[in-house]
């Protein structure tokens, strides 16, 4: 068989181009993992009342376990991100899924408060942090570059679909079989399905399989951009890093000296603040306003459905624009307007419009935030860097949930907290818009004919 000037078999080019890009399999695996693991996590609130009734615990005690679990997911993210960067995605995600499965089964045998806090409060968030959205987002970014926004939106939509699909199934199983059997079956499902899928299908990078990000076909090694050697090793000067976003692989310390890092932290803090507060208190706020108790559940259902639409729409838009900061700013603006409208005009119509708008912007921040992290700081230490930024998200959620409960008891209304959330969303709009990025250059047209010898 003849070879071209680069030493390749001439007859292999067409077959290589027709070969399925393995990144699509990675994307499907990550989305399905998020669907099941985060679907179970997002639906765990369904067990709060039946668990407290059977075990004769106060709802406050069970709620503290939920709050601890939510907060520790954020604190675990930098640790699991470091493991992913050093060990690789397959062992980290598989170990996280295994821990999630075993702990979910153990929760079904809960008899004492210490058991519940040790399993659901401490160990369960460690498994979720290692296997779900943060790790999957870091892995997907290694496989997609030009279509990074769309790929991350699909992964995030998997989590949204989990909330939308798993919660009704859990509600049915809870009535038919009880909370213990439902949790046991959920853990068994993760153990028998998710863990083997991660072990069998996850690969670290496209280069391992002789492929390139996005499934591109490289014409020759000369077409690939050489690694940058213009910057000396060691710590990047603070002043230079703040003025110019780093163009090389950054460590956490180097990333933390840049303005984009703190703008992303600030925006994600607000994201956690608004999502956490609305998730925990929207039903109670609507009840205080005189609406039916069923309306709160309907609003959360609409949010879950619109979440999928918004995530996929904004992720695809960021790819078409070649920019992520502007769509991210638009998402925070929509979120702020929705919250402000609910505060200023608490009518049934405004509640419905609020549910559609806030649902559209619910997790649409995630693909663009993680995409900006990869664009600015590189992929080598993406796990630990994104983990620290996600920690800001969870701190915002924990603070807003606690503060909103105290505010409602102290002042008899959530109105002030929802107004504060709207103002913070507007501030996050400015922070996101201020993140500087360059529109990527157009990719060169692939060669259709190999070079002649």
Whole-number pLDDT of residue 91: 93
Whole-number pLDDT of residue 259: 92
378 three-state secondary structure: coil
Whole-number pLDDT of residue 221: 43
Q: Whole-angstrom Cα distance, residue 193 to residue 101?
A: 10
Q: Whole-angstrom Cα distance, residue 98 to residue 386?
A: 23
pLDDT of 77 above 60: yes
Q: What would the mean pLDDT of 108-133 be, rounded to a whole number?
A: 91
The tokens of 111 are what? 């008899």
> Can you spell out the DSSP letters for 216-263?
---S-GGGSPPPP-SS-SSPPPHHHHHHS---SPPPHHHHTTSHHHHH
Check if 11-213 and 241-433 are the same fold: yes
28-31 LR contacts (CB < 8 Å, sep 24+): 29/197, 29/198, 29/201, 29/202, 30/136, 30/137, 30/139, 30/140, 30/155, 30/158, 31/136, 31/154, 31/155, 31/157, 31/158
Q: pLDDT tens, 372-383? A: 988 888 878 877
Whole-number pLDDT of residue 252: 86
Q: Whole-angstrom Cα distance, residue 204 to residue 380?
A: 12
Q: Whole-angstrom Cα distance, residue 258 to residue 434?
A: 13
pLDDT of 267 above 90: yes
CA torsion 185→165→142→273, rounded to 10°? -100
CA torsion 35→36→42→47, rounded to 10°? 160
Whole-number pLDDT of residue 390: 87
Q: Whole-angstrom Cα distance, residue 238 to residue 261?
A: 12
Whole-number pLDDT of residue 358: 93
Q: Whole-angstrom Cα distance, residue 149 to residue 310?
A: 13
Whole-number pLDDT of residue 451: 46
Q: Which CATH superfamily is domain 11-213 in?
A: MFS general substrate transporter like domains (1.20.1250.20)
Higher pLDDT, 59 or 124: 124
pLDDT of 177 above 60: yes
Whole-number pLDDT of residue 387: 84
Which helix H or strand E contains 92, and what residues bound it? helix 89-107
- Residue 3 β-bridge partners: 9
- Cα dihedral sign, 304-391-326-380: negative
The number of angstroms, rounded, from the C-alpha of 278 to the middle of its chain's C-alpha atoms is 18
Q: What would the mean pLDDT of 267-277 be, rounded to a whole number?
A: 92
* Residue pointed to by tokens 């989990």: 162
> Can you spell out the DSSP letters for 163-228?
HHHHHHHHHHHHHHH-HHHHHHHHHHHIIIIIHHHHHHH--S-GGGGT--GGG---S-GGGSPPPP
Q: pLDDT tens, 217-251? A: 653 343 343 343 333 344 334 333 333 344 468 88
The tokens of 322 are what? 């070649």
Higher pLDDT, 276 or 30: 30
CB-neighbour burial class of residue 338 (10 A; exposed 0-12, middle 13-18, buried 19+)? buried
Give the start-to-end residue ranges of the domains of the chain: 11-213, 241-433
Q: Whole-angstrom Cα distance, residue 373 to residue 355?
A: 29
| 8 Å CB contact between 271 and 393 | yes
Q: Yes or no: is domain 241-433 CATH 1.20.1250.20?
A: yes
Q: Whole-angstrom Cα distance, residue 292 to residue 296?
A: 8
Q: How confident is the model at residue 90 (pLDDT cuts 50, 70, 90)?
A: very high
Q: pLDDT tens, 125-159? A: 999 999 987 788 889 888 988 887 788 888 888 88
User: Nearest 5°: phi and psi at 9?
Assistant: -70, 125
Q: How confident is the model at residue 440 (pLDDT cuts 50, 70, 90)?
A: low
Q: Whole-angstrom Cα distance, residue 423 to residue 437?
A: 25
Q: Whole-angstrom Cα distance, residue 399 to residue 272?
A: 9
Q: How confident is the model at residue 337 (pLDDT cuts 50, 70, 90)?
A: very high
Which range, 13-27, 125-139, 186-200, 305-319, is most confident?
186-200
Q: What is the 3-state secondary structure (H, E, C) of 104-165?
A: HHHHCCCCCHHHHHHHHHHHHHHHHHHHCHHHHHHHHHHHCCCCHHHHHHHHHHHHHHHHHH
Q: How confident is the model at residue 288 (pLDDT cuts 50, 70, 90)?
A: confident
Tell me the residue length of the chain. 453
The tokens of 68 are what? 């601890």
Q: How confident is the model at residue 260 (pLDDT cuts 50, 70, 90)?
A: very high
Average pLDDT, the chain: 80
250: left (phi over 0), alpha (psi -120 to 50) or beta: beta
């Amino acid at each position: 068989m003849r070879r071209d000037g680069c030493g390749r078999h001439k007859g292999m080019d067409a077959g290589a181009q027709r070969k399925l890009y393995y990144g699509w399999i990675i994307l499907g695996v990550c989305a399905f993992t998020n669907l099941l693991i985060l679907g179970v996590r997002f639906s765990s609130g369904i067990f709060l009342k039946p668990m407290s009734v059977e075990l004769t615990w106060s709802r406050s005690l069970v709620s503290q376990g939920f709050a601890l679990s939510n907060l520790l997911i954020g604190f675990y993210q930098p640790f699991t991100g470091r493991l992913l960067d050093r060990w690789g995605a397959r062992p980290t995600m598989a170990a996280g899924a295994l821990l999630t499965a075993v702990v979910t089964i153990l929760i079904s045998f809960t008899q004492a408060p210490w058991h519940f806090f040790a399993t659901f409060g401490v160990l369960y968030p460690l498994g979720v942090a290692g296997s779900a959205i943060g790790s999957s987002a870091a892995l997907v970014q290694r496989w997609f570059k030009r279509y990074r926004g769309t790929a991350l939106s699909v992964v995030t939509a998997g989590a949204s679909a989990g909330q939308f699909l798993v919660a009704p199934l859990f509600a049915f199983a809870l009535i038919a079989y009880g909370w213990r059997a439902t949790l046991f079956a959920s853990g068994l499902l993760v153990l028998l399905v998710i863990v083997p899928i991660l072990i069998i299908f996850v690969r670290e990078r496209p280069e391992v399989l002789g492929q390139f990000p996005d499934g591109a076909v490289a014409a020759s090694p000369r077409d690939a951009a050489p690694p940058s050697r213009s910057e000396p090793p060691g710590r990047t000067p603070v002043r230079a890093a703040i003025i110019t976003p780093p163009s090389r692989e950054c460590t956490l310390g180097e990333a933390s000296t840049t303005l984009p890092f703190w703008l992303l932290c600030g925006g994600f803090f607000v994201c956690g603040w608004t999502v956490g507060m609305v998730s925990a208190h929207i039903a109670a706020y609507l009840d205080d306003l005189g609406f039916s108790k069923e309306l709160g559940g309907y609003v959360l259902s609409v949010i879950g459905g619109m979440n999928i639409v918004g995530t996929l729409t904004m992720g695809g838009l960021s790819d078409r624009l070649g920019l992520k900061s502007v769509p991210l700013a638009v998402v925070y603006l929509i979120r702020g307007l929705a919250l402000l409208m609910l505060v200023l005009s608490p009518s049934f119509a405004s509640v419905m419009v609020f549910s559609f708008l806030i649902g559209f912007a619910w997790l649409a921040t995630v693909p663009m935030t993680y995409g900006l992290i990869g664009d600015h700081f590189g992929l080598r230490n993406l796990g630990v860097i994104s983990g620290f930024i996600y920690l800001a998200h969870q701190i915002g959620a924990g603070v807003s949930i606690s503060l909103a409960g105290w505010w409602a008891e102290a002042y008899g209304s959530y109105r002030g907290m929802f107004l504060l959330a709207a103002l913070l969303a507007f501030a996050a709009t400015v922070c996101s818009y201020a993140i500087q990025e360059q529109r990527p250059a157009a990719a060169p047209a692939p060669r259709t004919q190999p070079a002649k010898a």
